[in-house]
Each structure stands twice: as structure tokens, then as C-alpha cells.
Structure 1
């Protein structure tokens, strides 16, 4: 079980909390191993819109190994984060947070709490565009990035603010609980996944999902759950109770790619995951990902990646993920 601690301070932004918390809770409802805790240095606080949550849990001491700490931003953070309760959180982070044992996610000005605690030194990070310069002053050793929705550097993740906390939550859910659960959460929340063309490709399991057409989503679900199947247009169309011609039209209209192109992207993503298993041969990976042969897999992979699968296996990829703010 992954323990998620949402850390609150005076005048915390309600959407900074509610957006990511709902995403993680929906993920838990779909089987992700999350347990949510609302914690604060005091038992009762007032949020940005005047609601006063009470019976908040105390800050965990010590923080359990493997726990995720989510720092929530505050309204008028220049003042609110200097209040004694907020400074108590800073002191708690300094004493108990360990970047090798714990994970940190910061929403909006919650990043400032991490900066004050010295947790961002030598890490890439971001925050709301209005307080980027304050972040640079508070964390001069951090690598502060402009114009980003979120940034992940190792176990430290930071986001630009308010709604971008949901984007960050979906990214972390995909990493920790898998793409299918992240898909289900995004669909249930009716959330559009935002990236720009200058950034690394969005996970194929989440790409082409920024639409609301139930038939197309059902077709994508079929392919995502069994990428090795021989999904022809007519077979998928029969499963979603329409004609192949209509499904092809709808897929292009809502996904901007053909069903075949989507299926191929899912197979490549599946193969990329399987390459992390050293005991699997290239032939076994090709079979499990649904390619006709190892030769076919190598041809497709080299075209898409610019190198052979065996060469990719020997390459160390960076783990940092960025999402550019529109």
C-alpha cells in the first residue's frame, strides 16, 4: 500500500488539494494501492475559499518508507507560507523527508515549502508562473524551469499550479499504477491531457484520448488491454457494434490517427516495457507485443527509434519528464 500524505497549511488552495486527491482516490477505486491522508501541523485550517476542514491528521513522524508527500499550495503564498503553521511544515520536512526513501509532489506554491526546506537543491523544478522568481531566490541551487505544467526529477515532482496538479497526479498514477488505470481516471474526471509538440511524446496509452466519444474509447480500451491480438478494423468494429467504415472515420476524426497507427503505437510501447526484462529474448518480446516476427519487430523499432532493440536495451534513458505549459 502506498501512503499518500497531502500536507496542508493556512489558506491552502482548495483545488490544489481536491484535484490531485480526487485523481488518486479514483485510481484507488480502480484498484491502485493508494491510501490518502490529510495532514497538517494543526487539527483545523481554513482554505482559500473559507471552508474550514477539521480533524486533520498530524504530520507523520517519522514518514514511512516509500510514502508520497504532496505539498499543497496556498493563497497569497508570500504571506501564508511565512505563518507559523507553514514554517512548522518546513521544519518537519527538513527533519523527516529523505529523497532516497520518500517521494515528493508539489502543487503550485507548495513548491516553495520544499524550497524553504532545502529539498530542491540540484533538482529541476517548476511552480506557478507568478512566483518563479521567488522560487529562484528561495532555492538558488535548484534548476528552475519556466513555462512547464510539471517537471519530474527523480523522486521530486513539481507542478505549475491549481489545475496542473491533476496533470501531475495522472502522470504519477500512470508511473505507479499503470496506463490503464490512468486512462480510467482521466476518462472518469473528463480531463484532457495537455502536452506540447516540443516535449517528449505522451505515453501512447494516454495519447489520442482527448475526446469524449464512447465508441472510440471502447475501441482504444480493447487494443490497450490486449495489444498482441490481431486487431483488424473489422474485428474491432464488430466488438463496438459499428461498421468498419464508420469506425475508421470516427477514429480519424477524434484521435487524428488511424486505428492501425494507434495499435502499432501501443505495441511499440508494450515492447519498450518488455525490453526492461533482461531474461526475455528479442523473439519473446516480439511475440508478446504482437509483432509477426522478430525481424518485423526490429524493422518497426529501428524505424521508430533510430536504433535496434538490442541497442536500446544497452542505452540508459533519462527518467526526467517535462510537460510544457500552454
Structure 2
């Protein structure tokens, strides 16, 4: 996980498909407002551009002459890319992409935005994807690229590309997870009412979002309390009575509601998130001992941690 602030530049061209811009931009904005180390900029070759909805999007900043360290350039997609990307404005973005990114700048695209990256030579030799209707176009523009036709989005290190439209939100949540952790990404997803989150390979369910595809407010309140406490004070252990008080129901009623609406018990749910927390810690601190992991994740002993690890690891890996 990165600790430095990430400067995100959302690049808009005339004819922008509004959901390609608004969906990821709102997900990133929510994450920033929740504490993620993000700074957001919306820029483009023109200050005012027409959108796919026939409305105008104004107040865009100019393309920066120089990108600061630790930047991410996110190229949004268009509604009629073949016509839109033949315009002088699009060609200006291509030239900018060829010169502005620094050695540590990450590039990303949503939907047909990958075509602009390809036109700038930024996808040569890389794994990438785009909207399913544009796969052949992308392969033509980047003949040495390894174009993936069956991915929601692809992370090839310095370059991320998404399949299009709503997958831009999946990509934004992935970026949030990288800079601020899975718990905050899950919090943003819940705010967006996205209880099933898709990943870079096959469609997958994050442990932080599993068992959230219901609409019972008391159960969601208890789940929010567990997730929030794990992100703020991982060693804290919730009792059933404390959770029930948070959800404003009795302990017995919460147990019944939890099983009815999530399919697992309160204890199993807490253990699953503790295992997710342990896997995150191991990914960034592989030298941690079992005793240290047990303490950091709220287990009473390393033995208790090992028992639960053996039970859950195969389910959330």
C-alpha cells in the first residue's frame, strides 16, 4: 500500500461518454472524502467539451505541461471513438501522452480510452483490454500488445486498462484499494451500493464485500461496525451484545437476522474479515510471525489464529 498522495488526472476529450468519467470520478472523490490520499484533477485539450448526452462539460483544466511525482493519468472513453479520436483535440492528447508522463507516472484507461494510449505507443508489448466491441481496433493500433478479450480490467504494472463503462468503477475501486487499503475500498463500494465487486482476472468477490448482497439495515449496520473497527482498531474484538447494541436489536435477533440475510453466522463473518486483514498484512509485511498476526488481527493466541487460518484461507485466497 502506498502512503504518498496520489495525484489523479482524469483526461476528457470531446464526446466523452459521461459514465466513463462520472462513475470513476465519483468513486475516487468519495474515497478522497473518506480519507484516501488522493488529489483529483479533471483536464483536457479544451476547457469546454460536448458529452455523449448532448450537454456541455466545462471548467476543464489544461493538460499539465509536467506531471508531478506519483501521478496517475486516467483516460476516459468516448461515445463515438472512431470519429472523436480523429479530431485535433484527440491528437493533442496523443502527443501529450507521448511526452508528459514521467518514469513513475502510471497510466490508465476506461473503455475506448485505451485506443488513445495505443495511438501514443503506450501499450506496446503490454497486456491490456478495452470494450468488447473495440478489441480488434485495439489490436490493430497496438499490434505487439497482448490484448485480453475476457477481462474486466488488466493491471500490467505501470498501465491499467478497463473494459468499459461500469468497469471504470471497478478499476477506480481497485486503485483506491492500492492506495488506501481494501477496507476503505469496500466502504466506497458500499456507498455506491456495489456489493459485488469485480477484479482484474475473473469476476470475484472481495472478502470485505462478501455477504453484502442484501438490504437489511440492521445487518448492514453490524457489518459496517465490524469492518470499520477492523480498519481502525484491528485488535479489538466485538462481542455479540456490542454489535447488537450498534444495530439496535437484541443479540438473539441479530444472530437470527445475520444468518437469514448473509448465510453465515456473526462469528464466521468476523473471522472471515480477520483472515482478509491477515492476508493484507502478510502481503506487505511477509516477515510477520504468527504471534504478531494473531495480535494484529484480534485473535487471543497464535493457536487460535492457526485454527481459523486453516479453515478460511482457501475460501478467501
How does the TM-score come out when normalised to structure 1? Answer: 0.85
1:287 aligns with 2:295: yes
Q: Which among 100, 106, 116 is matched to residue 96 of structure 1?
A: 100
Residues 1:245 and 1:146: Cα distance change in structure 2 (over 3 Å) = farther
| Unpaired segments ≥5 residues, structure 2 | none
Matched, 1:39 2:43: yes
- The answer on whether the counterparts of 1:228 and 1:267 sit within 8 Å (CA) in structure 2 is no
User: Quick one: distance in 2 between partners of 1:33 and 1:72?
Assistant: 21
What's the counterpart of residue 132 of structure 1?
135
The within-5 A match list for 1:1-326 is 1-98=5-102, 100-195=103-198, 199=202, 201-224=204-227, 225-226=229-230, 227-275=234-282, 276-277=284-285, 280-305=288-313
Kindly tell me: are residues 192 and 102 of structure 1, through their superposed partners in 2, closer, same or farther at Cα, counting changes over 3 Å?
same
Report deviation, 1:133.
1.3
> Deviation of residue 104 (structure 1)?
1.9
**Bigger RCO (CA 8 Å, 6+ sep):** 1
Instruction: Look up the SS of the partner of 1:148 in the other structure.
Output: coil
Looking at structure 2, the residues matched to 102 and 211 of structure 1 have their Cα atoms a distance apart, in angstroms, of 39
Q: CA deviation at 1:90?
A: 1.0
Q: Is the 8 A contact 2:235 2:296 kept in 1?
A: yes
Shift of 1:110: 0.6
Question: Counterparts of 2:144 and 2:263 in 1: how far apart (Å)?
Answer: 42
Residue 130 of structure 1 deviates from its aligned partner by 0.8
C-alpha offsets along residues 91-144 of structure 1, whole Å, 9 cap, x if unaligned? Answer: 11111224x401222111011111111212232221111111111111122222
* Preserved contact between residue 271 and residue 308 of structure 2 (Cα < 8 Å): no
| 8 Å CA contact retained: 2:195, 2:210 | no
SS at match of 2:40: strand
Equivalent pair of 2:151/2:202 in contact (CA under 8 Å): no
- Structure 1: 5+ residue stretches without partners: 307-316, 318-326
Q: Aligned to 2:49, what secondary structure does the other structure show?
A: coil
Aligned pair count?
A: 305
